[in-house]
Structure formats: C-alpha cells, structure tokens
Amino acid sequence: MTQHKIIIGNIVSPIDDHQANYFRQGCMLLELEKNSNVYLIKEHFNLNELKQKMREYKNCELLDFSGKLIIPSFCDTHFHWVQDDVREMNKDNLLDWLKNHTWPNEAKFADEQYTKNKSVEFAKSLIKAGTLTGAVYGSIHQHSVDYALESFPGDFIAGNVLMTMNSPDDLLQKQQEAIELVSKLSSKYKNRYAVTPRFAITTHPEVMTETAKLAHASDSFIQTHLCETTQEIEVVMDIYSKLPGFEKVKTYTEVYEKCGLLGPKSIFGHGIHLTDDELIMLKSSSSSIAHCPSSNAPVARRGLGSGLFDLDVINKHNISWSLASDIGAGPYLSMIDVMNSFVHQHQKAGRSYVSWVMALYRSTYAGERICGNHQRRGKLEVGKEANFLVIDTERIESSWDVERALKNCFEVNEDLRFTLDQKVSAVFWQGNKVS
Ligand SMILES: [Zn+2]
C-alpha cells in the first residue's frame, strides 16, 4: 500500500443545497491514515503544482481521471434490498403491489442459502451504482440483515422488517418473537442496525413501542414508512381508531409518536401527505425524511404514483431530508436516476430553485448526516475519507459552472434510465478502488 495517492479530475464537493466546491482539472492528495487501510483527503492543489507534489511525496500513486467528474459516493437512505426482483415491473398502487408482488417475493428469503446468494449479487449492484452507504430494509428474516451487513460494500445500516399483523401467513411473526429478534440484533449490531417496523399497518403498537425502547438502549436507528399514499393513511387511521389507547389519535405520525418511534436517529420513508401538526412533530423530534422521488413518480414512469413530496413545506419547517431510491417501488438503484427524477418532477411543478447541485448534496452529504457519518463522509474535503466515484462525461467546458457541468453529466431521457450505472466508471471506498 502506498502512503500517498494523487487523484486528478473535475472534483465536485457538495456544500449545501445551493453551492458546491468545484475544482476544475484539480488534484486531490490522499494519505493513509495511521494504522489502517483508510485513505483520507490531505489537500487539494492545482494541476500546475503536480510535478512539485510528485517530488515531495515520493512513491505516490498517480490516478489520472482528467476530463472526468469526481463526486462523493452515494448515500441511499431508504431501499429494500430484498425487492430487487420486483423493481422494474409495472406497478399499480402501493397496497396492491405489496400484497400481490412484493410480499410473495420477500417470502423467498426464508431460505438462508438463497439469501446469501442474493446478497452477493446485490453487493455487485451497489458497487455498480456507486452507492456505498445508507439505510436498507431486509425481509422479516434475521439472515437478510446478517448477509447484507456481511456482503455489501461500504458501510450500511440495516434492519429486518417487523410484520406481526395484517400480513400473509408466510411473513407473519409472533409479537414476542419479533421483539426478541430485535433485542438480539440491536445488541449485536448497535448503530449499524435499524429497528424497522414495516409500517403501522403491519406492526402491532406494542411491538413498535418495545422495539423503539431497544433501539434507544442500543444506539440503533429506527426506520419505517410514513404517509406515502392517502389510501394507506386511511387504512392506518381505521385500524388505530379501534385500538385501545389510540382512539383519539388524529394523525399517522401521532401513532408513531405514541410508540416512541420519533427521534434524531429515525428515518421516515416518503412523508408525502403530512399535516402541519405532523410536520411540527417531525421537526421537534429531529426526525428525518427519506424522499424517494422515483418511487413516488407516476405509474407511467415506473413509480407507484403516490404523489409529489411537498418540498416547499418541508423546507419551511426545516426538516432534515435526503434522497433515496426505495427500490423495489423505485425502479432503479442508481442515485443518478433518483437525481433525475427529483430535478425533473420538482422543476415541472414550478420549483425553479431545485437544481443538480441540490440533487447531489441530498444524495451524498445530507444522507451521511442522517446516518451520523458526516464528520468523515459525504464531501471531498480535507480530513474526510476518500469515498468517491469517477463519472464518465462526454465533455465539460471550461466556461461551465458546476450546475451546468452536473446537468450535462447526469441528465438523461426517460428511455435511457436503465443505462445510468454505466456512467460510474470507477468506485473508491476509503481511497481503495473497489470497481
Ligand atoms: Zn420503502
């Protein structure tokens, strides 16, 4: 292992929704961290200083990606790795799709060898997509978490879904068994584990309450779905209005709040149809939302047609959020596809402030922040881990600003969505090439 590496390319490091540092034909010096195989970013410098730096850091490895784009690796804060086989199909609506396609597919993960093989296959998809961090849902089975954490590249948070009611027989867990499994896995994996009630419809409130306590005790995360479709909200309110202790509950978020699921380590998928009261609850508890635009997109664009996330209102309430693929409801694992869907849908809805700079920030640093790793990840700044992707691009003109460069590099037509992984030509985790 060489002590130093120098990377050359058009380096983009997100700052916030509106700005990114852009080092056009810039260089990044990486240095091996003490007693580890992790490379950290030591400094940025201009190409005309290259010769001098090569003399200074003898035996350093030079990786020349001139003309290509270099961005942080992606962080996907909501996806179901056990739904890889149902993601590209045409879908109808959330509840029917779950019942008719998703759940029968997830039942196959009862077989441990099948799960192991699938996890190895899925790890390759993650590398191809350039997604190396984030939060993932497994099936109800313990080994869907064990093999995900063992096989996947990078560093993920994973959880087994909890399904103790209104579920098919082959995915139905007994309440006590579900709690015991969470107890075992949360103490085993700590903050790499997420307590994962599938959603309020399938998980008893007693189970949500007990497992939320276990999450807090083990410093684990909590992830679930919230207010994805209006039909789902009606079903939740119908079920809970009849449950003792929940008769007076007015909103879906309040159900979760009563069970102790809200908090700074909680990630709620979707949050499309939220009332003001719910937004206040999410904000005051420092909970986060995973916004999944390609999953929520119209059926014609291979989503579930759940509606468009109200970005204006979410930002007004200053709620933490990041982008996510939500495969299998989202059709593609690629965060570049998610970014396309995000920019396209929100700009079409008149939100002219939505940009590619914002899309990149929300696909990298904002997710790392939610996963608690932003001190070391999500930006290509001095002191951070060298987790980055090399993106192929036809051309980047010197007069272009970062927004124009990102748009030119990432924007594709609907019929070319499936090709987006091909844009990722190299993947580095902690400075080491993984693809
Ligand atoms: Zn989901």
The 3-class SS string of 188-249 reads HHHHHEEEEECCCCCCCHHHHHHHHHHHHHHCCEEEEEECCCHHHHHHHHHHHCCCCCCCCC
- Do 180 and 271 share a domain, yes or no? yes
Ligand 1 centroid to residue 426 C-alpha, Å: 28
Q: Is residue 363 part of a domain?
A: no
CA of residue 226 to ligand 1 center, whole Å? 9
Task: For residues 17 and 138, state if they share a domain.
Answer: no
Same domain, 154 and 272: yes
Cβ neighbours of 350 (radius 10 Å): 9
- State the distance from the centre of ligand 1 to the C-alpha of 251, rounded, in angstroms: 20
110 with 195, same domain? yes
The confidence score (pLDDT) of residue 385 equals 98
Total tally of structural domains belonging to the chain: 2
Q: Among residues 318, 333, 348, which one ends one of the domains?
A: 333
- Ligand 1 centre to CA of 93 (Å) is 13
**195 & 243 share domain:** yes
The rounded distance, in Å, linking the Cα atoms of 188 and 156 is 15
Between vectors from CA 297 to CA 87 and to CA 163, what angle results, nearest 5°?
55
CA of 191 to the centre of ligand 1 (A): 20
Q: How many whole angstroms from 340 Cα to the centroid of ligand 1?
A: 19
Same domain, 18 and 85: no
What separation in Å is there between the alpha carbon of 67 and the centre of ligand 1? 37
Ligand 1 centroid–CA 162 distance in Å is 13
Is 371 inside any structural domain? no
pLDDT, residue 394, reads 85
Q: CA angle, 159 as apex, 156 and 165 as ends, to 5°? A: 160
Strands 61-72 and 74-80: unpaired
State whether 208 and 325 are in the same domain: yes
**Residue 142 within any structural domain of the chain:** yes
Statement to judge: residues 60 and 120 lie in one domain: no
193: in domain: yes
Residue-level pLDDT at 1: 87
Q: Which two tokens stand for residue 269?
A: 């998928």
Domain range for 145: 74-333
Torsion angles phi and psi, residue 385, rounded to 5:
-65, 145
- CA–centroid distance, 269 to ligand 1, in Å, is 6
The answer to whether 273 and 229 are in contact (CB under 8 A) is yes
The string of pLDDT tens digits covering residues 193-217 is: 999 999 999 999 999 999 999 999 9
Share of the chain above pLDDT 70, in %: 100
Same-domain check for residues 41 and 158: no
Cα 324 to averaged position of ligand 1 atoms, centre (Å): 9
Instruction: For residue 302, give the nearest of 338, 277, 352 by alpha carbon.
Output: 338
Q: How far is the CA of 238 from the centre of ligand 1 (A)?
A: 21
For helices 335-348 and 356-363, give the axis angle rounded to 10 degrees.
Answer: 140
Among candidate residues 333, 362, 389, the one where a domain is terminated: 333
Strand partners, 225: 269
In three-state secondary structure terms, 107 is helix
Q: Do 145 and 126 sit in the same domain of this protein?
A: yes
Bridge-based pairing of strands 20-32 and 39-46 is antiparallel
**Distance from Cα 63 to the centre of ligand 1, integer Å:** 38
- Terminal C-alpha separation, the chain: 17
Q: So what's the pLDDT on residue 234?
A: 97
226 and 187, same structural domain? yes
| 38 domain residue, yes or no | yes
Measured on CA atoms in the order 201, 206, 212, 214, is the torsion positive or negative? negative
Both tokens of 166, joined, read 């209104």
- Strand stretches in 47-199, DSSP E: 61-72, 74-80, 131-137, 155-159, 161-162, 194-197
Instruction: Determine what percent of the chain falls in helix, strand and coil, rounding each to the nearest 5.
Output: 40, 25, 35
Identify whether 350 is part of a domain: no
pLDDT at 90: 86
For residue 421, give the 3-state DSSP assignment.
Answer: helix
Q: How far does residue 106's CA lie from ligand 1's centre (Å)?
A: 13
Alpha-carbon span 427 to 431, nearest angstrom: 9
Per-residue pLDDT of the chain (435 residues), as tens digits, is 899 999 999 999 999 999 999 999 999 999 999 999 999 999 999 999 999 999 999 999 999 999 999 999 999 999 999 999 999 888 888 999 999 999 999 999 999 999 999 999 999 999 999 999 999 999 999 999 999 999 999 999 999 999 999 999 999 999 999 999 999 999 999 999 999 999 999 999 999 999 999 999 999 999 999 999 999 999 999 999 999 999 999 999 999 999 999 999 999 999 999 999 999 999 999 999 999 999 999 998 999 999 999 999 999 999 999 999 999 999 999 999 999 999 999 999 999 999 999 999 999 999 999 999 999 999 999 999 999 999 999 889 999 999 999 999 999 998 899 899 999 999 999 999 999
In a domain, 82, yes or no: yes
Residue 413 near residue 421, CB atoms below 8 Å: no
The residue from 278, 306, 333 where one domain ends is 333
Task: Give the CATH number, domain containing residue 312.
Answer: 3.20.20.140
Q: How far is the CA of 173 from the centre of ligand 1 (A)?
A: 19
Cα(225) to ligand 1 centroid in Å equals 6
CA of 185 to the centre of ligand 1 (A): 21
In this predicted structure, what is the pLDDT of residue 92?
82
How many angstroms is it from 223 CA to the middle of ligand 1? 10
Domain containing residue 426: CATH number: 2.30.40.10
384: which 2 tokens? 């951070």
Q: Which residues surround ligand 1, an ion (CB under 5 A)?
A: 269, 326
Question: Which residue type occupies 37?
Answer: N
* Ligand 1 center–CA 402 separation, angstroms: 32
- 383: cis peptide before it, omega within 30°? no
Determine the residue type at 177.
E
Q: Is the separation of the CB atoms in 239 and 199 below 8 Å?
A: no
User: 305 Cβ partners below 8 Å, 6+ apart?
Assistant: 91, 93, 296, 297, 298, 299
Give yes or no: residues 161 and 80 share one domain. Answer: yes
| Rounded Cα gap, residues 191 and 231, in angstroms | 33
Residue 161 C-alpha to ligand 1 middle, in angstroms? Answer: 11
Centre of ligand 1 to C-alpha 68, Å, is 33
Query: How many angstroms does the Cα of residue 38 sit away from the middle of ligand 1?
Result: 32
Ligand 1 centroid to residue 78 C-alpha, Å: 6
Instruction: Report the distance separating Cα 248 and Cα 232, nearest Å.
Output: 19
The rounded Å distance from CA 377 to ligand 1 centre is: 24
Nearest Cα residue to 367 out of 278, 291, 286, 294: 291
The answer as to whether 139 is a domain residue is: yes
